[in-house]
A and B are shown apart, each in its own frame.
Chain A
Amino acid sequence: MTEEPTRRLAPRARLVWRMSQGLGWGVAVVAGLIAGAQLDGALAVLVRVLPVVGLVAGVTLVPELRWRRWRWDVRPEAIDIRHGTLTVRRTLVPMLRVQHVDTTRDIVEQSLDLATVVVHTAAGSHRIPLLTVADAAEVRDRIADLARTADEP
């Protein structure tokens, strides 16, 4: 039985998700208000209220749940990732198959001192997002080391 992964993303990841959820649902709220003005009856209420419910849930509940469910680990033989709230996906990437590993930082991540680790294999890439910069650098170097030794036998 492979043990479940235990490491988490940076606590500030919740802030990033809160912002992106807030932005997305905010647009939906405005769109709902505009559409609601054209309609009447129960539909108009629904179109106005639903995005607001989404906004509240997206800013409070979703980031918290998502952060709690996001677990990862780097073991000598494999990279282990488990994430997802509604759909839970657990992925194992054998170290032998890692071609190279990057860290990337988009604008939001730069402003919050976070980074994403991207592991590339011949079949595609796997991401561990929103780690602290120190964590990400450590993980990247460790994976690079392990991938190198895994190739040697």
Chain B
Amino acid sequence: MSPERRRLHPAAIAVYALAALREAALPLVALFVLRGFDDPGALERGLLYAAAGTAIAAVLGFLRWRTTEWWVTEDAIHHRRGLVAIKETDVPLTRVQALDLEQGPVQRLFGVQSVHVQTGGGGARGEIVLEALDAREIAELQALLAGRQVEEAPVAGVRRRLGERELLLTALTAGQLGVILPVLAGAGQIVSQLLEDEGFAVLGLVPDSPLEIALVVAGLVVAAWLLSMAGTVVAFAGFTVTREASRLRVRRGLFARREATVPVGRVRAVVVVEGVLRRPLGLAALRIEVIGHAEEPAAARTLFPLLRRDEVRDFLVELLPEFDDALDGLEPLPARAAARYALWPVAGALAVAGAAFFTPVGPWALLLVPAAAAYGLARHRAAGWRLRDGRLAVRSLMVARRTVLAPARHRESHALVQTVLQRRASLADVEVAFGKQTAARVHHLEAATARTLFERLAT
């Protein structure tokens, strides 16, 4: 590759312009809404604003493209950008861990890809991001790096792809509370605002009977569910994971195709997540804890979005044998720990029931108590642990049932914890941290067992 300075593919102008437009869009829309629709000239004015905004964005995009340069010398990739404040980044070729490719809708239109130059320190975005390179330039870059890196012989990679039926099943069973609840909360606010708006009352759109309210709530839940499904499809369409020698390559995404490279050496733990909707169907998702990737969204930490539970072992043997371990045959907790697991949920339920006693709900709130007890007992039943041949497996239940699988030597720290109440019952907790997002916790072990486990982990 010659050392002369290059510009990106002109498609970058469109990418930059769109980014500029997106940043400006929200305030513009807000302005538009605030000015109101009732004004007769509103539509014309809005179109004018939009045209002006697009023109400005196009000019900005062009300027940004003109002022962005990249070039490759003997030993480094250089990137220089900025009109007023100039920013230069040099990444030594030896420090480049991977070139991640991403293809958004605009890039796909022009047949180019954006290249993230990844180094050890990075997060999701590369140290250098080249927004639009054509296939020839990417091939050149890859060839150049292949010569420099300590690259093992390219092993015929083992691949696993998420089929279309599996994708649909993933989307159907995703239904994450994390997605649905904020949407519902937001919708609730809008609804309450609408209720205050007299215009809607005149139109007779305000739900006034319990049936109508129930219908509105059901509609919102369905809408949230559909939204969560759409999000899942967008994130996981075409999910493919490939094992190549010492790294995993993960491709995914419907509109923006992402390709990420994960060095196996930086994987700390595998987490098998059996969600509420998936567990009855014998399905699970696989997550990985990767050092330096903690801030990324959950989708980026997914090793595979959906697997039959009994397939997990074969999957790991094929793609990540470093973490292969059985999901079952864990040591259960002592039977007398069951009461401890039930204690706090029941106490919480009693407090809520006590408070609710004075509301119209009245004594019905007491029904929460057996539900809370059942939840505590379910947590006790689900919990288990095993340390065999240096491999730790810890299962726990909050909402989803999670099993953390990891070699004990990957731990970042571990702790033995005992509260006053546990001391009297001679029980104790063991916590093993594998990363910012992953900690394996076993609550209420026999104190002697906990002590032994703590000691075994230390060696």
State whether these chains interact. Answer: yes
Q: What residues of chain A have their CB less than 8 Å away from a CB belonging to chain B?
A: 1-2, 78, 86-94, 97, 121-124, 126
Q: Which residues of A contact B413 (CB under 8 A)?
A: 91-94, 97, 121, 123-124, 126
- Asked whether, in the complex, the Cβ of B415 is within 8 Å of the Cβ of A89, the reply is yes
Q: Which residues of B contact A94 (CB under 8 A)?
A: 411-413
Q: Mark B337-360, 1 if CB is under 8 A from A, else 0.
A: 000000000000000000000000
Q: A87-B420, A122-B291, A123-B436 are in contact. Are A2 and B455 (CB under 8 A)?
A: yes
Q: A78-B458, A122-B436, A123-B433 are in contact. Are A97 and B412 (CB under 8 A)?
A: yes
Residue of B nearest to A2 (CB): B458
Give the docked Cα–Cα distance between A122 and B433 (Å): 10
Residue of B nearest to A81 (CB): B415
- Asked whether, in the complex, the Cβ of B434 is within 8 Å of the Cβ of A86, the reply is no
- Asked whether, in the complex, the Cβ of B418 is within 8 Å of the Cβ of A123, the reply is no
Residues 403 to 420 of chain B near chain A (Cβ within 8 Å): 411-420
Q: A78-B458, A94-B411 are in contact. Are A86 and B436 (CB under 8 A)?
A: no
Main secondary structure of the interface of A (DSSP, over half): strand
- Closest Cβ of chain A: how far from B28's Cβ, in Å? 41
- Asked whether, in the complex, the Cβ of A92 is within 8 Å of the Cβ of B418, the reply is no
Q: Which residues of B contact A89 (CB under 8 A)?
A: 415-417
Give the docked Cα–Cα distance between A87 and B423 (Å): 9
- Asked whether, in the complex, the Cβ of B417 is within 8 Å of the Cβ of A122, the reply is no
- Closest Cβ of chain A: how far from B48's Cβ, in Å? 52
B454 at the A interface (CB under 8 A): yes
Q: Of A86, A88, A92, which is within 8 A of B414 by CB? A: A92
Give the docked Cα–Cα distance between A123 and B411 (Å): 9
Q: A78-B458, A90-B454, A92-B458 are in contact. Are A123 and B415 (CB under 8 A)?
A: no
B270 at the A interface (CB under 8 A): no
Can you sample 28 A-B contacts with CB below 8 Å? Answer: A1-B455, A2-B455, A78-B458, A86-B420, A87-B417, A87-B418, A87-B420, A88-B417, A90-B416, A90-B417, A91-B413, A91-B415, A92-B414, A92-B457, A92-B458, A93-B413, A94-B411, A94-B413, A97-B412, A121-B412, A121-B413, A122-B291, A122-B435, A123-B412, A123-B434, A123-B435, A124-B436, A126-B413
Q: Which residues of B contact A126 (CB under 8 A)?
A: 413
- Asked whether, in the complex, the Cβ of B412 is within 8 Å of the Cβ of A93, the reply is yes
Q: Mark B419-455, 1 if CB is under 8 A from A, else 0.
A: 1100100000000011110010000000000000011
- Closest Cβ of chain A: how far from B449's Cβ, in Å? 15
B292 at the A interface (CB under 8 A): yes
Q: Which residues of A contact B436 (CB under 8 A)?
A: 122-124
Give the docked Cα–Cα distance between A96 and B412 (Å): 9
Q: Mark B221-257, 1 if CB is under 8 A from A, else 0.
A: 0000000000000000000000000000000000000
Give the docked Cα–Cα distance between A92 and B416 (Å): 9
- Closest Cβ of chain B: how far from A99's Cβ, in Å? 9
Give the docked Cα–Cα distance between A93 and B435 (Å): 13
- Closest Cβ of chain B: how far from A44's Cβ, in Å? 22
Residue of B nearest to A123 (CB): B412
- Asked whether, in the complex, the Cβ of B415 is within 8 Å of the Cβ of A90, the reply is yes
Closest 6 pairs (CB-CB, A-B): A123-B412, A123-B433, A91-B415, A93-B413, A121-B412, A87-B419
- Closest Cβ of chain B: how far from A50's Cβ, in Å? 19
Q: Which residues of B contact A122 (CB under 8 A)?
A: 268, 291-292, 412, 435-436
- Closest Cβ of chain A: how far from B263's Cβ, in Å? 14
Give the docked Cα–Cα distance between A123 and B415 (Å): 13
- Closest Cβ of chain A: how far from B393's Cβ, in Å? 19
Which of A78, A123, A126 has most chain B Cβ within 10 Å?
Answer: A123
- Asked whether, in the complex, the Cβ of A86 is within 8 Å of the Cβ of B415, the reply is no
Give the docked Cα–Cα distance between A123 and B435 (Å): 4
Give the docked Cα–Cα distance between A2 and B416 (Å): 13
Give the docked Cα–Cα distance between A2 and B417 (Å): 16
- Closest Cβ of chain A: how far from B413's Cβ, in Å? 4
Give the docked Cα–Cα distance between A139 and B435 (Å): 24
Other than A2-B458, A90-B454, give 13 A-B pairs with Cβ distance below 8 A: A87-B417, A87-B420, A88-B423, A89-B416, A91-B413, A91-B415, A92-B415, A92-B457, A97-B412, A122-B435, A123-B435, A124-B433, A126-B413
Q: Which residues of A contact B439 (CB under 8 A)?
A: 123
Q: Which residues of A contact B417 (CB under 8 A)?
A: 87-90
Residue of A nearest to B452 (CB): A1
Give the docked Cα–Cα distance between A88 and B268 (Å): 27
Give the docked Cα–Cα distance between A2 and B439 (Å): 22
Q: Which residues of B contact A87 (CB under 8 A)?
A: 417-420
Q: Which residues of A contact B291 (CB under 8 A)?
A: 122
- Closest Cβ of chain B: how far from A12's Cβ, in Å? 27
Give the docked Cα–Cα distance between A90 and B454 (Å): 9
